[in-house]
Structure 1
Amino acid sequence: MPRQPNSHLLRRGRYSECGRAYLVTAVVHQRQPLFRDFQLGRLLVAEFKRAHDAGLVTSLAWVVMPDHFHWLLALNSTTLAGVMRQTKSRSTLSINRARCSREKFWQRGYHDRAVRADEDLLKMARYIVANPLRAGLVEHIGDYPLWDAAWL
């Protein structure tokens, strides 16, 4: 599969700051909707929880969509690259084990955006968890099983 022509530019100037909130997005290889399988989605959620419980991040909100995830987090004691490398690596191992597979699971890299101090985190969290509604997957957010937010 050919690389995106400017994908290497996503990493240029990437800087991690402890205490700062980030919105990160990662996509399943070839956008396969593998998280339609609730059990596979829960394996990814376990990695979000592991990073939070280990004190690496404070998990503020997340949603696992069929072929990608959005995660709003504040860095505590690691770099953004470190937490994403661990999360993607560990989730690949557990998900592929569950699928009896050795296939590539995630697309290379991830998208991140540092949250500015004046941005409303609660408003951003609501936007994140409403993704299944906007995608037409459910009519009520309570009907979608793969999301959480610290405030909701």
Structure 2
Amino acid sequence: METNYGHRSLRKGRFSAANNIYFITAATVDRSPLFSEWLYARAAINGFTQTKLLGHSRLLCWVLMPDHVHWLIQLADDTKLSTLVGSMKSASARLTRRAGCSQNIWAPAFYDHALREEDDIRSVARYIAANPLRAGLVDRLGDYPYWDAVWL
């Protein structure tokens, strides 16, 4: 039996559509709560929010949780989803290691959901931003430091 079957199945049917919006979830290796450490969280955020890295794609909303991240991304015309997500994970991992983390950072796969035309983008963004509330990390969203949205 192949151990990466679950990861491979996440890639089946993955399609990158220009200007489409995707809800992405990426987890740390073994769901390790690395980003409970402020220094590592800031390093990861500095990595995945780099304007140069994103190019013409837009990071509409994100929340970094202790053991995973959610991104709401609008792809540029010339960008493949897997390439962009790989670059975001790589840049954030590199800066997290520079901050002193010796562990592997990201699990090899990610989950993606393409939003449909009828989906309310702001509702999805609110869902993403409210993740720390649902997880019981804070009582008020304003108390959680690791999130952002373009509508602020």
1:99 counterpart = 2:66: no
- TM, length-normalised to structure 1: 0.91
Q: Which residue of 1 aligns with 2:42?
A: 42
Inter-CA distance 90–133: structure 2 relative to 1 (3 Å threshold) = same
Structure 1 unaligned residues grouped into runs of 5+:
none
RMSD: 1.7
CA distance in 1, matches of 2:65, 2:52: 20
Q: Secondary structure at the match of 1:6?
A: helix
Inter-CA distance 11–53: structure 2 relative to 1 (3 Å threshold) = closer
Q: Which residue of 1 aligns with 2:86?
A: 85
Q: Which residue of 2 aligns with 1:16?
A: 16
**How far did 1:74 drift?**
0.1
Q: Which residue of 2 aligns with 1:123?
A: 123
**How far did 1:71 drift?**
0.3
How many residue pairs align between the two structures?
150
- TM, length-normalised to structure 2: 0.91
**How far did 1:85 drift?**
1.1
CA distance in 2, matches of 1:8, 1:54: 25
The one-letter code matched in structure 2 to 1:129 is A
**How far did 1:52 drift?**
6.8
Percent identical pairs in the alignment equals 41
Inter-CA distance 17–34: structure 2 relative to 1 (3 Å threshold) = same
Alignment of 1:56-95 (within 5 A): 56-76=56-76, 77-95=78-96
